[in-house]
Chain A
């Protein structure tokens, strides 16, 4: 086997009778940022759900050589596969600090949790300023920072970010993408799921394009963003 952190081979999954994913193959190497792009309804979020075992499916899913298919969502989380869910899903009534601490819910090492908290504050100084504010009162960009910070509090090995750019100004998206590059340098692998194809490919090393439930193209980020097919499909040129 190669040194891939995550491998998905021949994954089929769906909701009830409705099949969504058809024979999906992807691989994510250690320390990579991999973009998973595609339009609405391509099955990107479904793939994430299948990876975090909220949704069952058939096919081979391995994380560091470990088979995921027989694990519960909590066990997958403990292995270090952590999601930043679409729409941020913060605990609105709780403070920023409480939200961050919820990310460390499954951890018991108090001292190390404080260290992680310090590094999250270093990454997002805004969150430190606003630590006693209710998360629901933050701006959209700050909320997304809080959601990423919360996921980082769980010390992920693989961070899966779902639709990070949703409803955010392009300037903020660029800032957040930069943060993802920093996180990667700290040893966290990132799987970035995006509709904003070109923003995602800007920071990613490699990318997969999904259409109607299957991967139609893959390659280095640069090759994909220069690919005439991708350009035509997503930019209309």
Chain B
């Protein structure tokens, strides 16, 4: 497939998705909002985890800061939603810059652990802030308009995906990939690795915060535990890895497919849904460890051997 046909297909898919609220039932639109926001979060993780190779557990902090920034601006200062969203993004970017500079010096497991700790700390801090409603949380003004939230979520996802498309073909992106592949070598080739990593972290922060802000206004209630929920970060990782880390569309497809599987399972076999979901993840990791994007790329050449080769090469 040439880039042109890919682009046309993606555009057609986006238009179909954009038209969805006009003919789909409300429950599907609500499912759509949740899925689009998850896909946006997965794309955010893709920048720092997929391209740069830094397994971040701090992306749920960006989501939480986006939620709280929007909520504080709207509830405490009576500002419009747009300003709130911008405030959430600002908080998130500041966090990425201030925490990124020390934390991004750590590599591998140490980086994961440090970001994990940060997200726990944030819950504790926010629970004690008067302006954030302490551990009770904040109630946002009600806005009935799922279609609007849906279109907004779609727009943010498109923006995130276009940004990643740009990254994948830019010098900046090559720099990030070089850092993922061999950070010492990247540094010896004159790449300012710290600057690149912090920028990637901040970029991930922007999209995660946008998703957080939209989610907060849509759900109309936020509290510290759910806003900084670590399992959301785990979802971002699973969806990105399932779809194909470091690819442009992989995380989006991963988020769509996994959300659909998870939703179907919970309606069909509600009590054991998470058991089956877990099995899907395990099977995916064994049979296609490099994600859907790699599967699609290589399946045509290798056929069903693709799966057996993956199993063999990872000695499972």
Inter-subunit contact A102/B174 (CB<8 Å): yes
Q: Determine the distance from Cα of A187 to Cα of B187 in the docked complex, in whole angstroms.
A: 25
Inter-subunit contact A85/B181 (CB<8 Å): no
User: Could you say which residues of chain B place their CB within 8 Å of the CB of A150?
Assistant: 189
Most buried by B among A72, A77, A92: A77
Inter-subunit contact A105/B171 (CB<8 Å): yes
Inter-subunit contact B181/A154 (CB<8 Å): no
Secondary structure of the A contact surface, majority rule: loop
- A105-B174, A105-B175 given; A74·B182 CB < 8 A: no
Closest A residue, CB atoms, query B182? A91
Give per-residue flags for B176-204: 1 if the beta carbon is below 8 A from chain A beta carbons, else 0.
01100110111111111000000000000
User: Could you say which residues of chain A place their CB within 8 Å of the CB of B190?
Assistant: 73-74, 77-78, 82, 105-106, 154
Inter-subunit contact A105/B189 (CB<8 Å): yes
Interface size class of A (residues with CB under 8 A): 20 to 34
Inter-subunit contact B185/A89 (CB<8 Å): yes
Which residue of B182, B187, B192 is within 8 Å of A90 (Cβ)? B182
Inter-subunit contact B189/A103 (CB<8 Å): yes
Most buried by B among A85, A91, A103: A91
Q: Determine the distance from Cα of A102 to Cα of B192 in the docked complex, in whole angstroms.
A: 13
Most buried by A among B174, B184, B187, B190: B190
- A54-B187, A105-B171, A105-B174 given; A94·B192 CB < 8 A: no
A146-200 residues with Cβ-Cβ distance < 8 A to B are 150, 154
Q: Determine the distance from Cα of A85 to Cα of B188 in the docked complex, in whole angstroms.
A: 7
B142-188 residues with Cβ-Cβ distance < 8 A to A are 171, 174-175, 177-178, 181-182, 184-188
Secondary structure of the B contact surface, majority rule: helix
Min Cβ gap A135→B in Å is 9
User: Could you say which residues of chain A place their CB within 8 Å of the CB of B181?
Assistant: 91-94
Min Cβ gap B195→A in Å is 9
Judged by a CB distance under 8 angstroms, whether A214 is at the interface is no
- A102-B174, A105-B174, A105-B178 given; A89·B192 CB < 8 A: no
Inter-subunit contact B175/A89 (CB<8 Å): no
User: Could you say which residues of chain B place their CB within 8 Å of the CB of A154?
Assistant: 189-190
Inter-subunit contact A72/B192 (CB<8 Å): yes
- A72-B192, A105-B171, A105-B175 given; A92·B182 CB < 8 A: yes
A41-90 residues with Cβ-Cβ distance < 8 A to B are 52, 54, 72-74, 77-78, 82-83, 85, 89-90
Inter-subunit contact B188/A102 (CB<8 Å): no
A90-120 residues with Cβ-Cβ distance < 8 A to B are 90-94, 102-103, 105-106
Min Cβ gap B244→A in Å is 14
Closest B residue, CB atoms, query A94? B181
Q: Determine the distance from Cα of A93 to Cα of B189 in the docked complex, in whole angstroms.
A: 17
Q: Determine the distance from Cα of A203 to Cα of B192 in the docked complex, in whole angstroms.
A: 34
Closest B residue, CB atoms, query A103? B189
Inter-subunit contact A52/B188 (CB<8 Å): yes
Min Cβ gap A113→B in Å is 12
User: Could you say which residues of chain A place their CB within 8 Å of the CB of B182?
Assistant: 89-92
Q: Determine the distance from Cα of A54 to Cα of B190 in the docked complex, in whole angstroms.
A: 11
Given contacts A74-B191, A90-B182, A93-B181, 14 further A-B contacts (CB under 8 A): A72-B192, A73-B187, A77-B188, A77-B190, A89-B182, A89-B185, A89-B188, A92-B181, A92-B182, A94-B177, A105-B171, A105-B175, A106-B190, A150-B189
Residues on B facing A (Cβ under 8 Å): 171, 174-175, 177-178, 181-182, 184-192
Residues on A facing B (Cβ under 8 Å): 52, 54, 72-74, 77-78, 82-83, 85, 89-94, 102-103, 105-106, 150, 154
- In the assembled complex, 30 residue pairs joining A and B whose CB atoms fall closer than 8 Å, in A order, are A54-B187, A72-B192, A73-B190, A74-B190, A74-B191, A77-B189, A82-B188, A82-B190, A83-B188, A85-B184, A85-B185, A85-B188, A89-B188, A90-B182, A90-B185, A91-B185, A92-B182, A94-B177, A94-B181, A102-B174, A103-B189, A105-B175, A105-B178, A105-B191, A106-B189, A106-B190, A106-B191, A150-B189, A154-B189, A154-B190
